[in-house]
Every structure is written in C-alpha cells, then in structure tokens.
Structure 1
Amino acid sequence: MLNKTEQTGLSSSRISTQQFWVFHIGGWSAMALVSYLSLTIWYNPGQLIPALHTVLQSVLGLFVSYPLRWAGSALWNAPIIRRVILNGAAIILASIIWTALRVTTFTALTGEVINPADWGGWLYASLTIFGAWSFCYHALKYYRQWLEQRQLATEAQKAALEAQTLAQLESLKRLEAESQYKDAKLRMLKYQLNPHFLFNALNSVTHLVRKGDQTSATEMLVKIAEFLRTSLEHDDELLHSLRDELEVIELYLAIEKSRFGDRLQTEFNVSDEALNVNVPSFLLQPVYENAMKYAVGQSLSPTVISFSAECDGDDLTLSISDTGPGFHEMEESSARSSIGIGLRNVEERLQSQYGANYNLRIENNDKGGASVRITIPAKLESVKPVPVDEDVLG
C-alpha cells in the first residue's frame, strides 16, 4: 500500500509524462505544419516527395529530441553552469544527428545531393529548433514546479488554518466546560446553605412550640417563609449587589431576633459606593449564622454583631465582628478547623468565584469576640445607585 505522499507523487509523475507527450507531439506536428506552409508549399507546390520529407523530418525530430528530456531531467538539480554546458552539448549533438538524418533522407527521397557548403544552413536551423525545444521544456518544467510549490504552500496554509481552527474550537470547548464546571460548583455550594439554615430555623420553631409560645412560633414561620421566598427569587443568581445581599440578611436577622430576642443586637456601617458592588449571593448569611452559633448562642448577655463595608481602590472589604467569647482557649491557626461547614462553604465559593483574587481572614478581636474579614474585587453593578432602606442598615 502506498501512503498519501507516494500516491500524490505517482499521480504527479503520471500527469507530467502525459503533459510531456502532448506538448512533444503537438510541438513537432506544429513544426511540420509551419515548415510545409513556409517552405515546402512555396518552393515545391503540389509535389508529394518534398511534402513527405517535411513530415518525415518532424517524425525523426520527435525521436531525436526525446533524449534531451533525459538530459534535462538528470541535470535538473545540478549547478547552473554545469546544466548550461551539458544541456548545450546535448542540443548540439542532437542538432548534428537530426541534420544528418534530414540530409540523408532528402537525398534518398529526391535523388538530389546536398552541397556540403549548404550543410551549415541546415545545421543552423536544427540548432534553432532544438534550442527552442530545450527552452520550452525547461520553461514548462519551471512553471509546473512553481504550480506544485504554490499548491503545497496553499495546502500547508489550509492545514495550518484548519489546525488553528481546531485548536480554537478545542480551547473554546475547554473554556466553556470550565465555565460550566465553575457555575455548577458555585450553585452546588450555594444550594448547600438553604437546607443548613432551614434545619436550624425549624429547630428554633420547634423549641418555641414546645415552650407554648405559639405566637412567636407563628411569627417565625412567617419570616422563614418570607426568607425562603426571597431565596427563590434570587435562585439563579450567582452574583448580586451588596444592597440585595443586605436585604436577605435583614430577613435572616428578623428570624434570629425572634429566636434570641434582646440577646441579639446588630450594627451596620456601609458606604454608598459599596452598596452597588456585586458580591456572591447569600455570601453573608453563613457568616452571620456562624456568629449566632459561636457568639450569641454561647452568651446570656447581649451580643452585638457589627457589619461594615467599604471600597478601597479596586477592592471591597466586608467585615463581620461580634462581642462574643471569640476563639477563647484556642490558637487562631486552629480557628479555621472549628468554624464548621458555613465558613468553609464561604471560602470555597470565594475561591471558585475569584480564584486567588480574594482574602478571607478569621481571627479574634483585640477587645474580645471574633471577626471575619473578606476582601474581594470591587465590580460595580451595572445599575444606577438608588437610596437604600435605612432598616437594611439597622
């Protein structure tokens, strides 16, 4: 079996041979016609023998000139000087042979003897014809080589473009797959929050029912329903403005205030610019829930949870701190391992959304309590700022 390159080469060689014989026979046929119209019919009109000699000398020229093809092909890659000399020698030799054959056949057919002094004219005509033959052969061969090189260059360019296109398609597919994976991961992390929160909230409702405080339990269920309704409204959002995020937190805190009463106090300090920055949806709720568990839930005295948000250049810094017991009797390096699924979820979402362009710091406050500090790129929401409800800011 021949490979594609060998098949192409064999096909090219076959076409080259066919083209040679077409031009070779056509050229000598044209030579016979021109010779007859310009010489034979002028000097020997209506005579058969001179016309026969005109045809015969073209047939002889057909065979005598054929070896010039071997010489031209064999010397094709030789240095130019060597090619000119050896091809010139082949032309002279072929011209001498053809001249001798023309003179001999003319004498044999007509009985006329050519004067040796006239052989020079016959030889000159032979040199002209065979020189033209060799020129046409090399010109056509160069032209054909140029066509083949151009075709190869076109095919190489086409192959390069196809390879580039395939590479771009593969790159687009990879980027699309990575984007879909990223979105799926973010949604998975987000959806982990609702069951976790719902479990704690329903436990609080159960506790109120067992205490017999049906009014408070009913109010809490209404607030839970409102919170879940808002969650469903933002279900498909991976990002929304900090203003929308604080509206969600307001609903969450209303539920937790029904649970803890005066033990839970909140403070907000948010700049107008920060309100319009996009943040991952439901980012703050697990941070507040962590404070409920480790600060408010661990103390009988009032606990203040403070929130601040401000833009610093291209970054947005969010800070949630409490006045609870903090990570007492625990090194800060081990704090991360004790914060539970909520803050681990927050960190995974930040990493998935921003890569390495975020900072999450969890530590004890200098005056007691714990704080969570989040720094992310400040990408503004593509809407005009609107006044924020003061209730959202506490």
Structure 2
Amino acid sequence: MKKSADNFLTPKNKPSFLLLHTLGWSAYVMIFAVDNLFFYRDFNKLGLDVFYPLFLAGLFASLLTWPLRYVYRKLWRLPPQWLIVAIVFCSLVVAAIWTPLKNLSMWYFYEDFNVLGLLTGGDLDPLFKWYMLFMSVSYAFFMILVWSSLYFGINYHYRLVNEKQLHLDAVRLSHVAQIKMLRYQINPHFLFNTLNAISTLVLKGDKQKANGMLTRLATFLRFSLDNDPEKKITLYEELKALMLYLEIEKTRFDERLTVKFQIEPQTEALLVPSLLLQPLVENSIKYAIAHMATGGVISISAYCKNNSLHLEVADNGPSNDNAQKALAKHTMSVKSETKGGVGVQNIIERLRVLYPNKHEFQVYKEKQKGYRVLIVMPMEYP
C-alpha cells in the first residue's frame, strides 16, 4: 500500500493557458482591425477585408508562440540573467519566422502580391527584394517579447499566490495538527492506561518507579503543550520526546515491548516537523504490540540517502495463528489511518504542505509480519 505525494508545481486556480492564449491573440487581431478601420480609413484599401490579413497574422503568431510554452517550462529554473537572455533569443527567433508570414499575408491582400510565384520560384515584381520579407521584424520582436513577458508575469503571479496560500495552509494545518495530536495523545484511553499503571506500581509499593513514570508523563505532556507548532525541531529533540513516550509504554508492557533505534549520527541535527513519529509508534503499540503476548518489537530508523532524510517505523505485528483477528484489526487500522485517521492523516497533510512534491509517505506490509512506514523528506539544517 502506497501513498504518493500530490503535485503542487502547477499553481492553483490559474486560468487555462489555451483560454488566455486565444484571448490574447484575438485581442491583437481586433485592436489592429479597429485601428485600421477607424483611424486609418483614408489609407485603408481593404475596408472590412482588413480583418483577413490580420486574422492570418494573429493565427500564425498563435501557432508559433504555442511551442514557446514548453520551451519556457524547461528554462524556468535558469538564473535570472540567463533567463532574460533565453527569452530575448526565443522571441527573436519566433519574430524572424513570423515576420515573413505576416508580411506575405498583408501583401497578398493589400498589393496582390504573387505569393505562389515566390514559393515556386516564378516571376516576381522587379522591385521585390528578399530582405523586404523581414521588414518590421523589430515590431514582431516587440510583440513576441510582450507575449513572453505576459506568460512569465501571469505564471509568477499565480505561483506567488499559490506559495502564499501554501504558507497559510502550513500555519493553519500546523495548528490544527497540534490540536488533533494533543487530542490523540491525551485521549482518555492513553491517560487511563498510564494512570492505571502508576496506580498499580503504587499498590505494589514501587514508589520510585511510579514517581519516575509520573515525571516522564508530565515531561512528555509539557513538551506537547509548550512546543510551537509552526516551528520545526531537530530530530534529536523529536527522538528525545519520543523516548519519553516509549518509556511510559515500556513500563506498561514491560518485557512485551522492545524498541530498537538505528539512528545515523548526522541525522540528529536535521530539522523535522514536531511530533512526527509519535503517532506512528502509538499506532504500532495500539494495533500490534497490545495484541501480542510477548516478543513485540518496534524499530525506529533514521538515515540519509540521495540528499534526503529517511525515517522508518516498523513493528513485527501479531505472530501466531490465534492472533488473526488482531492482525486483521491492525491491517484495517493502517488502511483507515492512511485514508483519514487522526494521527497518520495529520502526518500526510503536514508533509504535503511543508514539502510539496518533495516528500514520500509509504506504508508497507512486511512479507513475514508487521508493517513498516517510510517517510522521506528534504534534508534541512537549523
């Protein structure tokens, strides 16, 4: 079972490129048609027929600038100075192709120019010079440059709006995730089990162990309450809080729970969203370890690979034939959590907003027993 990251590269709510492209060149045709009809009518030989050569010129420009969209997509991440050079060069190339086509259209309607003769090598007007095909190339270059500027301007605008929205979503989801996680962590079931374990220790006369458990519970709850949800913390701090939680659970489960850490030293200084691993560990304890009589193991790993931080939480799940119901429940838990549960769904949403198109969240069913959750995110330093 795999959860893939959403693609956020395309700005949200941006109008269709086809719509803007068509409207832009249609406006070009209409503006110059009106210009010729009403402002230069004394010199206009065609009258309303001036629309035809302008329509052809606009059509040629539309077809020639359409591929620029894909060229500019490839050049988008160039440094500003090289991007400007690329835009100027591309605009000049398109203008050099568009100008002859536009001029031939105008001459065909205005001057009865023999376009077919030019294409077939027939007789031409002796006054015709080949360089005349490129007359007004500077005008065409300016128009293509305007189109290019509008293309980048519109995209930059919507990307900026999208980035601002992502930031607002990150702040909102961070607060919501913090509240939901607190509710998830401080649920009556968790507090009841913890306090019940403390009460049992007191009745047994093991006051020192009970006091230690209370201290760890208070420290863990204080971390949850005092932690700023808008800020990331180092993996070292995240693991420190996680160990407080695990020490509480290990007191409850005693020998039934073994926790293994495989943490590469260089990963401890990297930044991660706070309370990222605890819901995954709690999910494993609740739906796997709690249904095992003995031998429960949770493995937590952190390592760097391909310039990314990899975090893994794995459990060995129910391991005997009499635990099929528990195994089924564990399976349903992982599936439902991935789709819409409180803890894991919060992780998915936070990763989606904090690392758009730069993260992975995958849940694997191990071949023998148990589940493994893999989180991949960019390496960030304080």
TM-score normalised per structure 1: 0.49
What does residue 350 of structure 1 align with? 351
Identity rate, percent: 24
Please say if 1:361 is aligned against 2:363. yes
Per-residue Cα deviation, 1:311-370 (whole angstroms, up to 9, x for no partner): 22233332323344169648999965323433343334334434473141231352x4x1
Matches of residues 229-268 of structure 1 in structure 2 within 5 Å? 229-237=222-230, 239-268=232-261
What does residue 373 of structure 1 align with? 373
Structure 1 stretch displaced more, 291-300 or 342-351: 342-351
Separation in structure 2 between the aligned mates of residue 347 and residue 336 of structure 1, nearest angstrom: 18
What does residue 282 of structure 1 align with? 275
**In the TM superposition, what is the alpha-carbon distance from 1:239 to its structure 2 partner?**
3.3
What does residue 168 of structure 2 align with? 180
- Alpha carbons of structure 1 residues 326 and 245: separation in structure 2 relative to 1, 3 Å: farther
What does residue 213 of structure 1 align with? 202
- Alpha carbons of structure 1 residues 241 and 333: separation in structure 2 relative to 1, 3 Å: farther
Separation in structure 1 between the aligned mates of residue 347 and residue 255 of structure 2, nearest angstrom: 28
What does residue 337 of structure 1 align with? 332
Per-residue Cα deviation, 1:204-245 (whole angstroms, up to 9, x for no partner): 244246647274555433222211222344323453332222
Please say if 1:194 is aligned against 2:196. no
Is the partner of 2:302 in helix, strand or coil? strand
Contact 2:314-2:371 at 8 Å conserved across structures:
yes
**In the TM superposition, what is the alpha-carbon distance from 1:170 to its structure 2 partner?**
4.7
Unaligned runs of 5+ in 1: 14-76, 80-149, 384-394
Per-residue Cα deviation, 1:117-151 (whole angstroms, up to 9, x for no partner): xxxxxxxxxxxxxxxxxxxxxxxxxxxxxxxxx9x
Separation in structure 2 between the aligned mates of residue 170 and residue 270 of structure 1, nearest angstrom: 41
Matches of residues 86-97 of structure 1 in structure 2 within 5 Å? none
Please say if 1:312 is aligned against 2:305. yes
Contact 1:308-1:319 at 8 Å conserved across structures:
yes
Aligned residue among 287, 290, 293 for 1:294: 287
**In the TM superposition, what is the alpha-carbon distance from 1:166 to its structure 2 partner?**
7.0
TM-score normalised per structure 2: 0.51
Separation in structure 1 between the aligned mates of residue 317 and residue 151 of structure 2, nearest angstrom: 62
Could you say which structure has the greater relative contact order, defined with CA pairs below 8 angstroms and 6 or more residues apart? 2
Please say if 1:203 is aligned against 2:192. yes
Unaligned runs of 5+ in 2: 1-30, 41-110, 114-137
Separation in structure 1 between the aligned mates of residue 292 and residue 147 of structure 2, nearest angstrom: 73
- Alpha carbons of structure 1 residues 219 and 201: separation in structure 2 relative to 1, 3 Å: farther
What does residue 59 of structure 1 align with? none
Per-residue Cα deviation, 1:105-125 (whole angstroms, up to 9, x for no partner): xxxxxxxxxxxxxxxxxxxxx
Separation in structure 2 between the aligned mates of residue 325 and residue 355 of structure 1, nearest angstrom: 35
Separation in structure 1 between the aligned mates of residue 200 and residue 234 of structure 2, nearest angstrom: 39
- Alpha carbons of structure 1 residues 309 and 204: separation in structure 2 relative to 1, 3 Å: same
Separation in structure 2 between the aligned mates of residue 298 and residue 332 of structure 1, nearest angstrom: 8
What does residue 118 of structure 2 align with? none
Is the partner of 2:186 in helix, strand or coil? helix
Contact 1:287-1:372 at 8 Å conserved across structures:
no
Equivalent residue pairs, number: 261
- Alpha carbons of structure 1 residues 166 and 331: separation in structure 2 relative to 1, 3 Å: same
**In the TM superposition, what is the alpha-carbon distance from 1:177 to its structure 2 partner?**
1.5
Separation in structure 1 between the aligned mates of residue 243 and residue 191 of structure 2, nearest angstrom: 18
Letter in 1 for 2:332: S
Alignment root-mean-square deviation, CA? 4.8
Separation in structure 2 between the aligned mates of residue 166 and residue 336 of structure 1, nearest angstrom: 47
Separation in structure 1 between the aligned mates of residue 260 and residue 148 of structure 2, nearest angstrom: 63
